[in-house]
């Protein structure tokens, strides 16, 4: 059973399936408050599905999902989002035909005013402030990712789930984004970061889990995991 009050997020023996295809086969994972935990693994390992389960988008078929010491199996995604669990999906999840400002407007559903949300977003991402009237679809890949993160962070989340932050971005942009992630963690936000390409995230993670075929095979410090990465990915 879950219920450790020291953990922002706790998964115990979580199983989940798409129809008859079981994707998660007993996932155990813990994210302490204010820490960055990276979940790495090859394509199809079940990383994004793990995030969907935590965010309430996919039901657990067995096992327990605990948030802030409480079992939340069956909680709706909107309810979890309102309480501070925030998912930044793979592919950014922004509205390309809306301006930066209008995208941020979407975050007002949690109760904040547009002005306060814009203030928080532009303080953390000044480049977005310069492009506030520009259509989101015309921003660079890195700026679009910034917008997705800005929208997520402007809701004052306590637990952020980042899916494939580096997808489609140049290494320098990824480094810049991960610096921002590290700064966010310093403010006490707990982060679970899913990545297929490992190196970028190892520098900022406190703990790293390697996921293969629906299970976490190894959970250790970044330095301990780094040596085993090629074996984990290639199965050598």
Binding stretches for other proteins (CB under 8 A): 5, 8, 18-19, 33-34, 59, 61, 67-70, 72-76, 79-80, 83-84, 90-91, 141, 156, 158-159, 164, 166-171, 174, 187-189, 196-197
Q: Which is nearer to other proteins, 73 or 217 (CB)?
A: 73
Give the Å distances, CA to CA, from 221 to 20, 38, 159: 35, 10, 20
Three-class DSSP category at 153: helix
**C-alpha closest to that of 89 among 58, 120, 66:** 58
Beta carbon of residue 35, minimum distance to other proteins (angstroms, whole number): 11
Query: Which residue, 41 or 101, has its beta carbon nearer to other proteins?
Result: 41
Nearer to other proteins, 82 or 213 (CB): 82
CB of 198 to other proteins, least distance (A): 11
d(CA 223, CA 210): 13
Minimal distance, residue 40 CB to other proteins, in Å: 13
Q: How far is the CB of 34 from other proteins (least distance, A)?
A: 6
Helices and strands in the chain: count of H runs, count of E runs? 10, 10
What is the H or E stretch that residue 157 is in? none
Q: How far is the CB of 153 from other proteins (least distance, A)?
A: 12
By beta-carbon proximity to other proteins, the closer residue of 157 and 209 is 157
Range 41-46, long-range pairs (CB < 8 A, 24+ positions): 41/196, 41/210, 41/211, 41/212, 41/232, 41/233, 42/196, 42/212, 42/233, 43/196, 45/211, 45/212, 45/213, 45/214, 46/211, 46/213, 46/214, 46/215
Q: Are strands 62-67 and 159-163 parallel, antiparallel or unpaired?
A: unpaired
Q: How far is the CB of 204 from other proteins (least distance, A)?
A: 17
CB 16 to other proteins: min, Å: 10
Nearer to other proteins among residue 36 and residue 80 (C-beta): 80
Nearer to other proteins by Cβ, of 175 and 228: the residue is 175
Indicate if the alpha-carbon torsion angle 93, 8, 55, 43 is positive or negative: positive
Pick between residue 20 and residue 133 the one whose CB is nearest to other proteins. Answer: 20
| β-strand pairing of 62-67 with 70-71 | antiparallel
């Amino acid at each position: 059973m879950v219920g450790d009050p020291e953990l922002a997020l706790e998964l115990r023996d979580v199983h989940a399936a798409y129809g008859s295809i079981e994707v998660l086969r007993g996932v155990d994972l813990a994210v302490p408050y204010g820490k960055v935990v990276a979940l790495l693994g090859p394509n199809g390992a079940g990383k994004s599905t793990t995030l969907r389960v935590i965010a309430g988008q996919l039901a657990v078929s067995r096992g327990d999902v605990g948030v802030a010491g409480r079992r939340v199996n069956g909680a709706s995604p909107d309810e979890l989002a309102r309480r501070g669990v925030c998912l930044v999906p793979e592919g950014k999840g922004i509205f390309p035909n809306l301006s930066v400002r209008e995208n941020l407007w979407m975050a007002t559903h949690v109760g904040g005013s547009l002005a306060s949300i814009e203030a928080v977003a532009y303080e953390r991402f000044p480049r977005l402030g310069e492009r506030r009237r520009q259509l989101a679809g015309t921003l660079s890949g890195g700026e679009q990712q910034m917008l997705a993160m800005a929208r997520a962070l402007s809701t004052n989340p306590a637990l952020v789930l980042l899916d494939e932050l580096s997808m489609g971005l140049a290494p320098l942009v990824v480094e810049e984004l991960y610096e921002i992630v590290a700064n966010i963690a310093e403010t006490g936000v707990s982060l679970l970061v899913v990545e297929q390409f490992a190196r970028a995230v190892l520098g900022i993670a406190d703990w790293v889990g390697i996921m293969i075929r629906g299970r976490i095979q190894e959970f250790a410090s970044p330095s301990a995991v780094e040596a085993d990465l090629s074996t984990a990915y290639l199965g050598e």
